[in-house]
Amino acid sequence: MASTDKPQILFLCLEHRDYFDSSYSTLFNILIQVAHVQRAKTATAAISAITSTAFKAIIIADEGLTNHDPASRQVLAKVKTYIENGGLAIAGLHFPNFSGMIKFNLFFKGFGLPWKMGDWLRTTFQLNSSATLPESTELASLPRPYSMKVHHIKHARPQEKILVPVPGAMTQSNVFAPEPVDQEQAAVVGARFDLALTLGVGVQDGELFEAAANHGVIAVGGTNKPTLISWVATVVGWTLGGGHGLMTGHYSIGADNILQATTVTPTGSTLTADAFQNQDFFWPIRRSGTFGAVADLTLKAYPNPSVVLCGLDFTARNTTTKMQCGYCTIKERHDSEALAYAGSLFMHDASVENATAAMRPLRQLLGRYNGTSEAAATDGRFRFDRFANLTAMLSSYETVGTVNGITAFRLLTKQTLQDETKRGLLARTLQEVGPQTVAQTNGLPNPSISGTMTLSLQRVSNALSLRTGRT
């Protein structure tokens, strides 16, 4: 591995001891061959390093982060942010030896983990085949069953236990007689942290976006910011139905963002379903179905990105027919005098220059059809520092049956777009199911079409690929 390709690893040694290097010399000798290793012995050095370097891993090598002085608290806050953004942190080496049981337990409680310090003994351990491991972990690099003396950890959840006692494990001592080992404890545990929001069944888009923004994050929601009397479905209902929205192109559909659900079963019992428990309930919840009433959902959240907004305006000339105008620009029924489309395109965490370059092929394409339409695609003239500033501007529709708009696109297959016959069928379908020039008189609101446009050359591993194969 070339030196420029080596990952960066940081050792946090805020309570450094002189014999630390000699105690773990074998580990250091291996790491320096495959990584650039830095060490921070003071809070100032630690904050500077975490702020300026993208570390592959941060190793918490002693009890320094369990201290309650302001400097240590600042470093801990930086480490938490690093973890929330997908970073890997490992607490070990001198950490369990010098933290003490109370500080050890409180440290992990601060991360929302139930882990407690357990027994201190030697036995033989093996890899838990059902454990959740860090991404890109090579299983072949992990040790086979082997003996070690270690502080055990108790109260870890099944998927969090990485190294566990072998079946029938006994204590190993030169002084005391062998005794059975507590199989519920583990030598090494780990948890994957996802930013998340838990919401009840009555929460609507605007409330979700506002609550997320107050915590500096976003979550996938719908395309409206409804009032309390809105006819628009709640976020939970929208999500359970699949859920296409403004953020789908970047973070997938709503159903793919479900981390956990509380469900009331037909027998009246309440259970929690996620990837590790009650999976037979969790699978249909993420695939537009359920075996009970969903009481709340926990959804993935994401750091609030910036966004650059571009514009797209399209107006057909008077001599242009509906079919000539195109299948994806239908805004009125075929008896309408006007035919126009206005929309916005946006890019996450992009510069204005990148947005301008991305719009150039679209402007060139529209220019080739100026005989049948007048179209304009504007560059990224509007930039929002936070995506929440854009969601705050969403429309709020009420229950008067005059809603008439297309807020985004539905996913369309490449074959549908290229085949002339299928394009015609799509156009007629949208004319029938889309907004009507005259509102219905049966008390129902005017139909609307909402979704998002997702462009990708790669197969997407989520619920969308199950339906379309490629987005």
Q: Which two tokens stand for residue 111?
A: 């991360």
Quote the CA–CA distance of 241 and 13 in Å, as a whole number.
Answer: 49
Q: What is the pLDDT of residue 322?
A: 45
Residues 304, 301, 344, 407, Cα dihedral to 10°: -150
Angle separating helix axes 43-52 and 70-84, nearest 10 degrees: 20
pLDDT of 271-321, one tens digit each?
888 776 788 888 888 876 667 888 889 898 887 777 887 777 766 655 544
Lowest mean pLDDT among 210-224, 227-241, 367-381, 396-410: 396-410
| Closest C-alpha to 362, from 374, 347, 350, 379 | 379
Contact call for residues 360 and 346 (beta carbons, < 8 A): no
Residues 72, 77, 79, 84, Cα dihedral to 10°: 170
Q: Which residues pair with 377 in a beta bridge?
A: 312
Q: What is the pLDDT of residue 288?
A: 65
Quote the CA–CA distance of 255 and 319 in Å, as a whole number.
Answer: 43
- For the beta carbon of residue 217, count every other beta carbon within 10 angstroms: 20
The percentage of residues in the chain with a pLDDT greater than 70, rounded to a whole number, is 74
Lowest mean pLDDT among 126-135, 179-188, 204-213, 224-233: 224-233
Please, what are the domains in the chain?
Answer: 1-112 (3.40.50.2300), 117-193 (no CATH), 196-303 (3.30.465.10), 306-385 (no CATH)
φ and ψ at residue 396, rounded to 5 degrees: -130, 105
Q: What is the pLDDT of residue 342?
A: 63
pLDDT exceeds 50 at position 461: no
**How wide is the angle at C-alpha 372 spanned by C-alphas 371 and 376, nearest 5°?**
85
| Closest C-alpha to 393, from 210, 264, 144 | 210
Residue environment code for 41-54, b if the CB has 16+ CB neighbours within 10 A, otherwise e: bebebbbebbeeee
φ and ψ at residue 384, rounded to 5 degrees: -105, 130
Which position has the higher pLDDT, 432 or 27? Answer: 27
Q: Which two tokens stand for residue 270?
A: 């309440």
Strands 373-384 and 293-300: unpaired
Quote the CA–CA distance of 204 and 209 in Å, as a whole number.
Answer: 9
- For the beta carbon of residue 321, count every other beta carbon within 10 angstroms: 10
pLDDT exceeds 70 at position 374: no
Quote the CA–CA distance of 107 and 153 in Å, as a whole number.
Answer: 13
pLDDT exceeds 60 at position 51: yes
pLDDT of 398-434, one tens digit each?
444 444 443 444 456 777 777 888 877 877 777 776 6
Lowest mean pLDDT among 7-11, 110-114, 164-168, 388-392: 388-392
Distances (CA, A) of 119 to 112, 149, 287, 399: 22, 10, 43, 62
φ and ψ at residue 71, rounded to 5 degrees: -65, -45
pLDDT exceeds 60 at position 380: no
Q: What is the pLDDT of residue 56?
A: 92
Close Cβ partners of 125 (under 8 Å, ≥ 6 residues apart): 145, 146, 147, 148, 163, 164, 165, 166, 169, 187, 188
Reported as a pLDDT band with limits 50, 70 and 90, residue 236 is: confident
pLDDT of 57-94, one tens digit each?
999 999 999 998 999 989 998 998 888 778 899 999 99
Quote the CA–CA distance of 390 and 335 in Å, as a whole number.
Answer: 34
Contact call for residues 189 and 160 (beta carbons, < 8 A): yes
The percentage of residues in the chain with a pLDDT greater than 90, rounded to a whole number, is 30
**Length reported for the chain:** 471
Q: What is the pLDDT of residue 19?
A: 92
Quote the CA–CA distance of 76 and 366 in Å, as a whole number.
Answer: 53
Q: What is the mean pLDDT of the chain?
A: 77
Q: What is the pLDDT of residue 346?
A: 74
Quote the CA–CA distance of 185 and 164 in Å, as a whole number.
Answer: 7
Lowest mean pLDDT among 19-33, 375-389, 445-459: 445-459
pLDDT of 318-359, one tens digit each?
554 444 444 344 333 344 444 556 667 777 777 777 777 877
Lowest mean pLDDT among 142-146, 373-377, 397-401, 426-430: 397-401
Lowest mean pLDDT among 49-58, 105-114, 209-218, 401-410: 401-410
Helix H or strand E encompassing 258: strand 258-264
Query: SS3 for 122?
Result: strand
| Closest C-alpha to 362, from 406, 311, 316, 405 | 311
Reported as a pLDDT band with limits 50, 70 and 90, residue 447 is: low
